[in-house]
């Protein structure tokens, strides 16, 4: 058996993991100057001297059908990784996100005596909590982006460390609202509602018409001066939303392709589909209303497994209903209109923004350095 004693094996499966991986490599190199890095990673990791054994985009699959079609290839890549690092144990194996792919590697390598770390907790605290049993067997350390995740792992005796969220460092403490409006061609003096019905086709199909109906009614309440902006997540969503808006000529909307951060920065209030967007809106200090709908059968299947009291990250971070959220049957036009109108209230905005600023500071730490220090501790160095 060989020994890759100065090699850190890292597997990242998507662009967000590539960003985390590059940051981590820089920090680990300070702790371990003679270390080298290999596994699976993208262009940012490779720019830091990382050697990728496979193309990262081969792991970037979504939904149910595509992973099934690619299953033989994915299993082959995973088998190759396990064989390589079982025969030549690295200093540590670090799986970045992509838990469905990485958990099997982590379990096998840990059983073979390799130290294993998982960076970015899956939402095991929110649903399918039974997964914690496999996680406990698979990892020597879990690195969490959000502070409320720590308690769950501690309760199950899984070594864990909070390392902050990398998004927190990408947003300024104070957004440039006027500058964003000028860049988007919006009137800097008139109120703006940003509408974000999701990044996936199914989300837009279920939420876009609802959100447009809400926007129309909010505009009727607040006056014709209200400006509406929708940033489409990509070209496909832009096309989908363009077709929807073509049938709604009475609603005047500034439709963008991407530019979601600029669109949110320009807004007074954001109406959005629950997801990472809610965290981004919080970091931009935007009062928001959160909503989500699933297909009726899908919701019936998944709802028994959901264990968290809140859907949105701001509420989970604050451990209270800091921002209104309306899920499934509660996502009615009447509920959303009332909440959006209330979100424009200056006094309420001031209170919410003050709490957002505190939460931003809590997340804004040197993630790479904290993660590298925790890994060095696990390795006894």
| CATH code of the domain covering residue 255 | 3.40.50.2000
How many Å apart are CA 172 and CA 180, to the nearest integer? 13
Residues 83 and 213 in one domain: no
* Window from 19-28, 127-136, 189-198 with minimum mean pLDDT: 127-136
Percent of the chain with pLDDT over 70: 90
Residues 125 and 198 in one domain: no
Residues 206 and 354 in one domain: yes
Look at residue 177 in the predicted model and tell me its pLDDT.
96
Residue 171 lies inside a defined structural domain of this protein: no
The answer to whether residue 1 scores a pLDDT higher than 50 is no
Q: Give which of 279, 237, 233 is closest to 260, Cα–Cα.
A: 233
126 DSSP assignment = T
Percent of the chain with pLDDT over 90: 71
The answer to whether residue 229 scores a pLDDT higher than 60 is yes
Residues 153 and 286 in one domain: no
Residue 172 lies inside a defined structural domain of this protein: no
Please answer whether residues 185 and 256 qualify as being in contact, where contact means their C-beta atoms are separated by less than 8 angstroms: no
Residues 280 and 233 in one domain: yes
- pTM of the predicted model, to two decimals? 0.80
| Mean pLDDT, residues 351-362 | 95
Look at residue 307 in the predicted model and tell me its pLDDT.
61
Residues 49 and 190 in one domain: no
DSSP code string of 293-319? ---HHHHHHHGGGB--S-SSHHHHHHT
| Mean pLDDT, residues 311-333 | 92
Residues 191 and 85 in one domain: no
Domain count, the chain: 2
Cα angle: 51, vertex 104, 21; to 5 degrees: 35
Domain range spanning residue 253? 177-363
| Mean pLDDT, residues 99-128 | 87
Alpha helices in the chain (DSSP H): 15-31, 43-47, 65-69, 71-87, 99-111, 132-138, 149-155, 177-184, 201-222, 235-246, 260-266, 276-283, 296-302, 313-318, 333-343, 346-363, 367-378
Residues 200 and 342 in one domain: yes
Residue 169 lies inside a defined structural domain of this protein: no
The answer to whether residue 335 scores a pLDDT higher than 60 is yes
Look at residue 63 in the predicted model and tell me its pLDDT.
43
Residues 107 and 137 in one domain: yes
Residues 259 and 189 in one domain: yes
| Mean pLDDT, residues 19-28 | 94
How do residues 254-280 score in pLDDT, each as one tens digit? 999 989 999 999 999 999 998 889 999
| Mean pLDDT, residues 295-321 | 75
């Amino acid at each position: 058996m060989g020994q890759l004693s100065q090699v850190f094996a890292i597997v990242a499966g998507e662009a967000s993991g590539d960003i985390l991986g590059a940051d981590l490599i820089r920090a680990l190199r300070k702790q371990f100057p003679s270390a080298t890095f290999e596994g699976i990673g993208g262009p940012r990791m490779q720019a830091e001297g990382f050697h990728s054994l496979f193309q990262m985009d081969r792991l970037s699959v979504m939904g149910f059908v595509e992973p099934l079609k690619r299953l033989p290839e994915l299993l082959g890549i995973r088998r190759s990784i396990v064989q390589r690092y079982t025969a030549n144990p690295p200093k540590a194996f670090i799986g970045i996100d992509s838990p469905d792919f990485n958990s099997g590697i982590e379990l096998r390598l840990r059983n073979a005596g390799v130290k294993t770390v998982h960076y970015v907790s899956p939402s095991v605290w929110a649903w399918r909590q039974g997964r914690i049993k496999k996680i406990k067997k698979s990892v020597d350390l879990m690195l969490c982006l959000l502070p409320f995740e720590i308690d769950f792992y501690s309760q199950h005796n899984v070594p864990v460390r909070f390392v902050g969220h990398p998004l927190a460092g990408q947003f300024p403490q104070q957004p440039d609202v006027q500058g964003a409006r000028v860049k988007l061609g919006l009137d800097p003096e008139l109120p703006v509602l940003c509408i974000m019905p999701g990044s996936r086709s199914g989300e837009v199909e279920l939420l876009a018409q609802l959100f447009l109906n809400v926007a129309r009614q909010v505009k009727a309440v607040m006056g014709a001066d209200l400006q509406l902006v929708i940033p489409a997540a990509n070209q496909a969503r832009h096309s989908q939303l363009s077709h929807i808006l073509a049938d709604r000529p009475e609603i005047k909307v500034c439709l963008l392709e991407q530019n979601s951060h600029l669109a949110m920065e320009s807004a007074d209030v954001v109406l959005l589909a629950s997801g990472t967007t809610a965290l981004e809106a919080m970091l931009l200090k935007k009062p928001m209303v959160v909503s989500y709908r699933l297909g009726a059968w899908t919701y019936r299947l998944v709802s028994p497994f959901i264990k968290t009291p809140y859907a949105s990250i701001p509420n989970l971070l604050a451990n209270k209903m800091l921002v209104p959220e309306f899920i499934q049957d509660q996502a009615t036009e009447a509920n959303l209109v009332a909440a959006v109108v209330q979100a424009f209230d200056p006094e309420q905005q001031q209170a919410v923004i003050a709490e957002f600023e505190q939460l931003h500071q809590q997340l804004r730490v040197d993630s790479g350095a904290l993660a590298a220090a925790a890994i060095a501790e696990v390795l006894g160095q």
